[in-house]
A = this chain, B = another copy of it.
Amino acid sequence: MEYMYDYDALWEMLHERRYRELRDAMVDMNEVDIAQFIIDLRPEEYAIIAFRALPKELAADVFSNLEADIQEAIINAITDKELAEIMSDLYVDDAVDMLEELPANVVKRVLKNTSPEDRKLINQFLKYPENSAGSIMTAEFIDLKENMTVEDAIKRIRRTGEDKETIYTCYVLDIRRHLIGVVTVKNLLLAQDDDSVTDIMDEDVMKVITTDDQEEVAYLFSKYDLLSIPVVDKENRLVGIITVDDAVDVMEREATEDFEKMAAMIPSEKPYLKTGVWTLAKNRIPWLMVLMLSATVTGTILGRFEEAFQYFPILVTCIPMLTDTGGNAGNQTSTTVIRGMAVKDIELKDVFQVLWKEVRVAVICGTALSFVNFIRLLIMNPGKIMESLTISISVLFTVLLANTVASVLPLLAKRLNLDPALVASPALTTVVDGIALTVYFMIAKMLLPI
């Protein structure tokens, strides 16, 4: 189902300097796959040679799919003229993505070889805050004037469509470039040639502002099944569009970030295999450290019940089972709630509904676990009824407390404008461990002669 190319054959052509053959083979490929071939070439010189073998009209498309380090190597190897050609063919959003990764001296040379018009646009786009709608939009859209007919519009698309990211949604602007409506190519094709664009356009435009959060923008694409969305400034002037492929990238990246945060890591910027060992360690140590030190609290609680160990060693051997079960139950709840909030299935106003649901689920799960555990303990430790009872009742209470805390904390974090993913499983574990052990020994004191 994916395109399958004979990468080995390409490699041979490159190695044996059959560049014309290589060029012809690459022309038949998808630009994403050409980029993949080039990215995998080592040493870098081969990547540069392969890239330069591409015909001019493919160069920019492939270039925008490369990774920052190879882009930099290529820029440093090509002439100003080649660079200028690539820059004139790159979409503004791809140019901005690239420039954000490059060192300052390379950026300077790139901008020097960009047309003044594009340079102005790029500099403007570079200023939008990270993770904003402005930072992922592009400037290559089709704008129509309000006095155009359908025939005029189709002519304009035919004339200017070649270089646009999408031609399927066109934006109707008034004379001061305010966005007053959208019209799709479908609308245009299904209308009469002499209809006025303003008559068939949809005035009720869904749009976002440059400063809106990219995650909210991605959510709109998923909710309303959009192919693109216009981005306006505070005065409703159209400045760019976001296309669905970029929204998909945002969704994937945001989901990955949530996975990372929920596993107690600081999200990393690059793919795993491209991230250095020191960066990975730097992203992981802070939470490991916080969690390790806070586990001391659990240790202190354990220390307070030292005598109990002496008389009932079975209580000690069950500690890992108890804290693990509490951790697992809490993890199930917090993951459910955090992901539910991320996809907007759960909102702040649902807090009591969630809590009440989790309490009931905890009673069912806890009772089942408690019962099985009681049987197991009695079989493995015949006669030790009171000890088994102590441990099993503690399991039920631990699950109950774990689910309660785990359902409320993420919603509380959201309420306080913190990221709910931060109070996921690992941060919870310490809290749940402490509570579980305290309850455990309180129940032990009630039921056993300690």
Which residues of A are at the interface with B, using a C-beta cutoff of 8 A?
A: 1-3, 28, 30, 32, 154, 157-158, 161-162, 167-168, 185-186, 189-190, 204, 206-209, 212, 216-217, 220-225, 227, 244-245, 247-249, 251-252, 255-256, 258-260, 262-265, 271-273, 277-278, 280-281, 284-285, 287-289, 291-293, 295-296, 298-300, 302-303, 306, 309-310, 313, 316-321, 323-325, 327-329, 331-332, 334-337, 339-340, 343, 345-346, 350, 353-354, 357, 360-361, 364-365, 368-369, 372-373, 376, 395, 399, 425-426, 429-430, 433, 437
Please indicate the chain B residues that have their CB under 8 angstroms from the CB of A207 in the complex. 1
Which of B252, B302, B321, B368 is close to A296, meaning CB atoms less than 8 Å apart?
B321
Which of B306, B319, B357 is close to A313, meaning CB atoms less than 8 Å apart?
B306
Are the C-beta atoms of B319 and A319 separated by less than 8 Å?
yes
Are the C-beta atoms of B365 and A285 separated by less than 8 Å?
yes
Are the C-beta atoms of A325 and B2 separated by less than 8 Å?
no
Q: Which residue of B lies closest to A359 (CB)?
A: B277
Most chain B C-beta atoms within 10 Å of own C-beta, residue among A212, A288, A340: A288
Which of B158, B212, B221, B227 is close to A189, meaning CB atoms less than 8 Å apart?
B158
Are the C-beta atoms of A189 and B208 separated by less than 8 Å?
no
Are the C-beta atoms of A320 and B319 separated by less than 8 Å?
yes
Are the C-beta atoms of B206 and A189 separated by less than 8 Å?
no
In whole angstroms, how far apart are the Cα atoms of A357 and B281 in the complex?
A: 10
30 CB < 8 A contacts A-B: A1-B206, A1-B209, A3-B204, A32-B225, A225-B248, A247-B248, A252-B343, A256-B343, A259-B259, A260-B336, A263-B332, A263-B425, A265-B332, A265-B335, A271-B345, A272-B354, A273-B345, A273-B346, A277-B364, A281-B361, A284-B361, A284-B365, A287-B328, A288-B325, A288-B365, A289-B369, A292-B395, A316-B316, A327-B327, A327-B429
Are the C-beta atoms of B324 and A295 separated by less than 8 Å?
yes
Q: Given A259-B339, A288-B329, A190–B158 Cβ distance below 8 Å?
A: yes
List the 9 closest pairs (A to B, CB-CB), nearest first.
A263-B335, A225-B245, A295-B321, A299-B317, A281-B364, A298-B320, A271-B345, A255-B255, A259-B339
Q: Is the interface of A mostly helix, strand, loop or mixed?
A: helix
Q: Given A284-B365, A289-B372, A328-B264, A299–B318 Cβ distance below 8 Å?
A: yes
In whole angstroms, how far apart are the Cα atoms of A331 and B328 in the complex?
A: 12
Nearest-neighbour CB distance to chain B for A430, whole angstroms, equals 7
Please indicate the chain B residues that have their CB under 8 angstroms from the CB of A361 in the complex. 277, 280-281, 284
Please indicate the chain B residues that have their CB under 8 angstroms from the CB of A437 in the complex. 320
Q: Which residue of B lies closest to A164 (CB)?
A: B186
Are the C-beta atoms of B320 and A303 separated by less than 8 Å?
no
In whole angstroms, how far apart are the Cα atoms of A373 and B293 in the complex?
A: 8
Please indicate the chain B residues that have their CB under 8 angstroms from the CB of A313 in the complex. 303, 306, 309
Please indicate the chain B residues that have their CB under 8 angstroms from the CB of A328 in the complex. 264, 287-288, 291-292, 426, 429
Nearest-neighbour CB distance to chain B for A209, whole angstroms, equals 7
In whole angstroms, how far apart are the Cα atoms of A436 and B352 in the complex?
A: 39
Are the C-beta atoms of B222 and A252 separated by less than 8 Å?
yes
Please indicate the chain B residues that have their CB under 8 angstroms from the CB of A340 in the complex. 271-273
Are the C-beta atoms of A309 and B302 separated by less than 8 Å?
no
Please indicate the chain B residues that have their CB under 8 angstroms from the CB of A345 in the complex. 271-273
Please indicate the chain B residues that have their CB under 8 angstroms from the CB of A302 in the complex. 316-317, 319-320
Please indicate the chain B residues that have their CB under 8 angstroms from the CB of A325 in the complex. 288, 291-292, 295
Please indicate the chain B residues that have their CB under 8 angstroms from the CB of A425 in the complex. 263, 331, 425
Please indicate the chain B residues that have their CB under 8 angstroms from the CB of A285 in the complex. 364-365, 368-369
Nearest-neighbour CB distance to chain B for A220, whole angstroms, equals 7
